[in-house]
Structure 1
Amino acid sequence: MENQTLASSNHQLPAATQHDDNDSMALFKLWNTLWRRKWSIITLTLVVGMVTVLIVLNITPVYRAWATLLIEQNKGSVVAIEQVYGQESNNNEYLQTQFELLKSRTLAERVVTDLGLVTHPEFDPTQQEPPLFNIRGWLRSIDLHSWFPALVPAKAETPQQNSEEDIFDAVVMQFMGRISIQPQGNSQLVRVQVDMNDPRMAANAANRLAQGFIEAQLEAGLATSADASAWMNSRLSELRTKLKAAEGKLQAFREKENLVDIDGVLTISAAELAATSNRMVDARSNRAEAESLYRQVQSMKNGGWRKLATVSAVLGDPLIQQFKANEAQARSKVEELSKRYGSRHPAMEAARTELAAAEASLRGQVQQVVAAIERNYRLAVANEGSLRGSVNENRTQIQNISRKEFQLREYQREVESNRALYDTFLTRIKETAATSDLERVNARIVDMAKVPKKPIKPRKGLILLMAMFLAGLAGVGLSLLREKLNNTFKSTEDVEAKLNLPVLGILPQVKRKQRKELAHLYETDKDQGFSESIRTIRTSLVLSDLDIPHKVIVVTSSLPGEGKSTVSANIAIALGQMEKVLLIDADMRRPTLAKNFEFAVGNPGLANVLSGTAKFADSVQQAHNIDMIGAGMVPPNPLELLSSPRFIELIEQLKGQYDRIVIDSPPTQAVSDALMLGTLADALIYVIKSDDTSIPLAVKGVGQLVQKKVPIIGVVLNQVDIKKAKKRGYSYGGYYDYYGYNQPHKA
């Protein structure tokens, strides 16, 4: 009564309060997961931190020197040659172009040559010291051929081909990677920056880059005037040739296709095509509607005519509705008369005849409506296909004429574009010839580079802090991922949520020294928590059969090793204190009963009884106040024996001799014996090993039993580490520690 009151009060709590409680519980579980793995996270962070320190200490400091340039955009008074090269654009694009010129390879080659960087220790490979942690070089130095000569071929001797050209190219590429351009706000000032290990050489390189850029601008200006006229004259001659060729192609195409007036070429009526297309759209809509009804009917044909009668199109038929009403009235009459008369009474026979006639009428009408739907679908498909053919034929005719029109327009556009380009170049070459002023250099050095005093990298403190932060973050992520991938049952809430079955009780994890006597640990009472848990399961089992007696109880699990044999034996012993109980070991492939209770070797068992080589009375053993029968000899066909009529008859006979029959069944996912035994059971108990049984496996096993309509009364959560579960935030107050036996049990 108290539990019902608490439950009703919980339902009356506001939704926001329940949501806050769920969030708090989720955060608590998250914190517990991280707290359990705190040392792993801390260890990972410290290891990454130490490795980072060693790496940072091995990094050579880098200095940055910069020179400041002022780059102004040229503004000519007359149309100048810059228009040919596209320099008359907005200021931002112009500056971006100058920045890329400052980083160009040509300028870098000039600086490398002037400063002699090829022989500088920072760029010359022969003068560079190897790093402290040269992992790539260490891997290359390993000679696997000396270790595995039969598997790994010997390394080929490759001659060193470091020519002067290759060395110079490598130095230039390396120097270009050290250059960066930094604009100064929205001004026309720009910093030319060079990063090097040698601060004095960095300053010299930055100054030489700025000076070389100005010199390159002067040289480009002098060469532009001479090159522009020659290039434009040659280009003008090419354009004149292209224009004549395009005009010849246009005239030849007109004469070949007899095209005089292109506007009069189209002779197909667009109105006819549009009308046919509209009719096809309507036909497609009608076909889609008929196909929808047809698919519904086809998808339900396997379900019989009653399944077809539930389709909306069939159900909407007036005769169907009338016949369904007649059938319902006849069925109601049969049910009403069955309460007063026997099955052979004339009135009952007449009523059943009337019901059969009503069902036949309804079935016939359903079949007629379904046949009409199928005919409508075929007619709609045929109509749509006919209209599609007409549309395609009209479209093909129009496309043939449009193709010629398109080709003619293409030739005309080619002539027009060539003529426009020719006129443009002719105008520009005349303007260029009349322009005598050339652009002057538009850049000057504002500040020369100074020798830097402090390095810009590495920022050792920041690198160490970021590395340790990321390592800690990775540790947290790995811990949460590991917890998420642990897809097993950890609590009774998991069992009830995933399997939708009640938990009859939990069995705590016992001490290692007591595991040899697990099969009869309840009777020895050496572990009070375990014994009280068995009593709780026994109470749940007894209370569940108040309406329907549970004489035959089958105990199974998903896989071997989950404790089903232990549960079945202890439950049988606990029931044996109040009733007459028989424990049967039906796991003939991996029997455990004879070994756990030390039966004499060679004693007959269930397999012997079913095969007819022994009598039941000779196979029964008595232990702990209950009768037991082992598996006996291991047969080659256990499933055939368990599904034989002899076993079914044996169970029926034993029901009259015993109050309870507990059967230790094989696992559901190993063999199909459990499904057979479940059909004979009055109740089935499913055993799940805590923090070990896979949720998908258990769901599959329970699903198979439910499909066979096996009466599953609940689940036993076995081998629960109570201490570990409480650290995770799970509570078993209603199953275990409520009785005062919550004592720690070590694995």
Structure 2
Amino acid sequence: MDATAHTQEQTWIARRLENDAPELLHAWRTIWRRKWSILGLVLIVMMVAGLGSFAITPTYRAASTLLIEQKKANVVSIEQVYGVEGAGNEYLQTQFELLKSRALAERVVKQLELTTNPEFDPRQRPEPLIDIKGMLASFNIEQAIPATLPEDLEEIADPTEAKIFDEVTKAFMKRVSIAPMGKSQLVKVQVEMTDPHLAAKAANTLADGFIESQIEASMEMSMSASQWMNGRLKELRIKLKEAEDKLQAFREQENLVDIDGVSTINAAELSATSDRMIDARRQRAEVQSQYRQVQSMRSGGWEKLATIPAVLGHPLIQQFKADEARARAKVDELSKRYGAQHPAMEAARSDLSAASASLRGQVEQIVAGIERNYQLAVANESSLRASVDANKAQIQKISRKEFQVRELMREVEANRALHDTFMTRLKETAATSDMDSANARVVDRAALPTEAFSPQRSMIVAFAGALALMAGIGLSLLLEVLNNTFKSTQDVESKLNLPVLGILPLIKNRQRAELAQLFTSDKDKAFSESIRTIRTSLILSDLHKRHRTLVVTSSQPGEGKSTVAANLAFAFGQMEKVLLVDADLRRPTLAKNFKFPVGAPGLANLIVGTARIEDCIKTVAGIDMLCAGLVPPNPLELLSSERFAKIIEHLKSHYDRVIIDSPPTQAVSDASLLAIHADAQIYVIKSEATPIPLVKRGVGQLLQSNSPVTGVVLNQVDVKKAQKHGYHYGGYYDYYGYSKNPPPQAAALPEKV
């Protein structure tokens, strides 16, 4: 698939080149045909341009080379204050624009006093051709024009010093050009003037002025920076004092001596109180457990209270329980021995009661101690918790004060740092304000130019010649496009689709009557041979059907149809019996060309019936001729009559060939009527004269009338010129037609066949 597409593309390109090649060749031939005119135009323009260049005042260019450094040698960092550091290509472009600035130009104008220089001073220019000021002085301006106009005119006539300075500055700025040298930091400052000495001086002055302006700008910026920093430093000093006073007032208000020490003590107290509170909470938890056991056993009496582990484990309780147990054992022992009233029993019971009472009292005392310890533990815990909360509040209060103090201290430190920075920069500026340093220096000073920069005469002449060459070529092609005529047989065949029966060469310096008999006189061999070629083409075209009536016409008058018809009749007269009829009843030429008597009868007389055919036909050089006769007022009606048709039929029966000279197709409609009676028709076209659309309309009219247009004769062709321009007429024009000594057999042709 790709191979097929590639082949199709190559075929398309080849066809396109084949189609474009004739157009390019035709354009080249058109240019070559007018080569001498183009070269003449080029030479004339180059000569005029060369002469005009000598009238131009020569201008000299002087150039001074500067080295523009992107960074200066920094002594201190004060450059950051007023920004003189370079930054690449943008910095160099800025310096180039400064070199072309108006301020620098004004400096040079003042220094060199250019306002009084004849080259720049408008007051020293040549006098104008019309002296308007003198003309106005001869009139009474106060009466002729309003009162405000003389002031304006006076201002125009006598410009002020400011306007003169402004005009000179603008003129000088136009003479200055900046040329960077490659990708380096070198730049050429160029000045163009008619005075070479002044040009060199101006270039050097411009370079020096740029360096001086840089130094002045640097010093001015240093002074401006110093003044600004002094004012700013005073403001910073006031702000620093206010910040310090505010910090001290806050410390005195809050009674702060060392806020770091206070916060450390409070933190230690909080830590110790927190530890004690933890111990108190633990003790309270332990006592609370005993207290809850006591409260749960209180309803069971002291005996159950005595069973509580905290009470039971007390040493006194164990001792009192042992005393009670011994007393109870003694009572039990005595009860076995004595009776209840026995003194010993009573004493033993009394001891048991005393032991039980002591145990009870001790239990109650211990229980009361447990309750008291619980209350103390709770109170102690609450007290410690309150202390911890108080310490926390105190620490938070101190922290807030600390934040405020830190904020005030930061403000003081920031103001102090800014104050110290400005103080340092101020000292640096004061130390470097008188240092004359610039970021540019002169590498090569402008030398006196020895050759004029402009006008560049060779370039002007070459450019003018190139423009003239292009204009000449364009004009030639334009004239070729506008010249919409037939210039070759190829044009005729391609645009009319009709065969070319032959061409007739251009015959110069001959009268019309002489041209009509040129074939019989045989004074121009080329013309005679061309007529024979046309005759041969017509004979070959009527092999199948004989063309007895042959009509010769053209698009417009002056194309040579009558000459073609007459000479073609003489050519056929050598072989056949021929009648030449002048059917152009409006502008007849046959009688005049062959010098027939004035008023000789002709075709018009035959149609009207005022003459006989024997009286109208004249014989010249072996052929019969029928002239137009008297010019009628209504030729179209005569040619469209039946009598004219009968006359043509009668003539065809008595002659081998009747050749009719018809009027032009685009002048009148007579040719269309004559075409009805024609067996063949020849259309004559004047080479490089008749417009193509005109011929197409004429041929179209004949074809619409079913006229048998046999072919075309291209008349008045400059063959030698055409062959030089690339037009070839092989097959239409015999080379031997140029021979001055034709072969003997050419003259021995029989007059009648």
TM range (shorter): 0.5 to 0.7
Residue 441 of structure 2 corresponds to which residue in structure 1?
445
SS at match of 1:512: coil
Contact (CA 8 Å) 1:581, 1:627: kept in 2 or not?
yes
Q: 2:537 aligns with which of 532, 536, 540?
A: 540
AA at the equivalent of 2:167: A
In the TM superposition, residue 519 of structure 1 has moved relative to its aligned partner by 1.8
- C-alpha deviations, 1:231-284, integer Å up to 9, x for none? xxxxxxxxxxxxxxxxxxxxxxxxxxxxxxxxxxxxxxxxxxxxxxxxxxxxxx
For each residue in 1:134-154, what CA deviation from the matched residue of structure 2 results, as whole angstroms up to 9, or x when unmatched?
Answer: xxx77x799xxxxxxxxxxxx
Shift of 1:616: 4.5
SS for the counterpart of 2:513 is helix
Deviation of 1:565 (Å): 0.4
Change beyond 3 A, Cα 1:635–1:169: farther
CA contact (8 A) 2:555 2:694 kept: yes
CA–CA separation in structure 1 for the residues paired with 2:559 and 2:125:
64
Q: How far does residue 541 in structure 1 lie from its aligned partner after superposition?
A: 1.1
Deviation at 1:193, TM superposition (A): 2.2
Corresponding residue number in structure 2 for 1:45: 43
Aligned to 2:58: 60
Residues 300-699 of structure 1: matches in 2 within 5 Å?
443-447=439-443, 449-455=445-451, 457-458=453-454, 459-468=456-465, 470-471=467-468, 474-475=471-472, 478=475, 482=479, 485-510=482-507, 512-513=509-510, 515-699=512-696
* Partner SS, residue 517 of structure 2: helix
SS state at 2:601 partner: coil
Is this contact kept in 2: 1:45–1:469, CA < 8 A?
no
Residue of structure 2 aligned with 1:112, choices 109, 125, 129? 109
Q: Partners in 2 of 1:25 and 1:67 — Cα distance? A: 54
Q: How big is each residue's C-alpha offset from its partner over 1:503-526, in whole Å with a ceiling of 9 and x where there is no partner?
A: 212222335356532223223333
Note if 1:168 corresponds to 2:188. no
1:121 is aligned to 118
Distance 1:464 1:626 in 2: 65
**One-letter amino acid matched to 1:70:** I
Which residue in 2 is equivalent to 1:335? Answer: none
2:64–2:446: 8 Å Cα contact kept in structure 1?
Answer: yes
* Contact preservation (8 Å) 1:551, 1:660: yes
User: Distance in 1 between the 2:60 and 2:39 partners?
Assistant: 33
Instruction: Name the counterpart of 1:8.
Output: none
Residues 60, 199 of structure 2: 8 Å contact kept: no
Residues 592 and 444 of structure 1: is their aligned pair in 2 closer, same or farther, counting only changes over 3 Å?
same
Change (3 A) 1:705 1:167: farther
The corresponding residue for 1:724 is: 721
C-alpha distance in 2, partners of 1:169/1:649? 98
Please report how far the alpha carbon of residue 482 of structure 1 lies from its aligned counterpart in structure 2 after TM superposition: 4.8
CA drift at 1:161: 3.7
Instruction: Provide the residue aligned with 2:195 in structure 1.
Output: 198
Cα shift at 1:119: 0.7
* Cα offsets for 1:139-198 (capped at 9, x unmatched): x799xxxxxxxxxxxxx9977343323322221111001111122322333332222233
User: Which amino acid counterpart does residue 591 of structure 1 have in structure 2?
Assistant: P
In 2, distance between residues paired with 1:532 and 1:514? 20
Report the number of matched residues: 507
Structure 1, residues 348-391: CA drift from partner, whole Å, max 9, x if none?
Answer: xxxxxxxxxxxxxxxxxxxxxxxxxxxxxxxxxxxxxxxxxxxx
What SS does structure 1 have at the residue aligned with 2:625?
Answer: strand
**Separation of aligned partners in 2, 1:110 and 1:555:** 89
Q: CA distance change for structure 1 residues 194 and 687 in 2, over 3 Å: closer, same or farther?
A: same
Distance change >3 Å, CA 624–CA 141, structure 1 → 2: farther
Which residue identity lines up with residue 673 of structure 2 in the other structure?
A: M
Deviation at 1:55, TM superposition (A): 2.4
Cα deviation for residue 556 of structure 1 reads 0.8
Looking at structure 2, the residues matched to 507 and 640 of structure 1 have their Cα atoms a distance apart, in angstroms, of: 34
Larger of the two Rg values belongs to structure? 2
Per-residue CA deviation, residues 524-553 of structure 1 (Å, 9 max, x unaligned), is 333333233222222211221122221221
TM-score, normalised via structure 2 length: 0.58
Contact kept, 8 Å, 2:59 with 2:192, in 1: the verdict is no
Match of 2:733 in 1: 736
Indicate the RMSD between aligned Cα atoms, in angstroms.
4.5
For 1:213 and 1:486, the matched residues in 2 are separated by: 64
User: Is contact 1:686–1:716 with CA below 8 Å preserved after alignment?
Assistant: yes
CA contact (8 A) 1:34 1:480 kept: no
> Where do 5+ consecutive residues of structure 2 fail to align?
1-13, 133-148, 229-417, 742-753
Once residues 89 and 556 of structure 1 are traced to their aligned partners in structure 2, the CA distance between those partners, rounded to angstroms, is 89
- In structure 2, what is the Cα distance between the partners aligned to 1:461 and 1:523? 61
Q: Which position in structure 2 is the counterpart of 1:334? A: none
Q: CA deviation at 1:593?
A: 1.1
**Structure 1: distance between partners of 2:500 and 2:518:** 21
1:116 Cα offset (Å): 0.8
- Residue 527 of structure 1 aligns with an amino acid whose one-letter code is D
Give the counterpart letter for 1:59 in structure 2: T
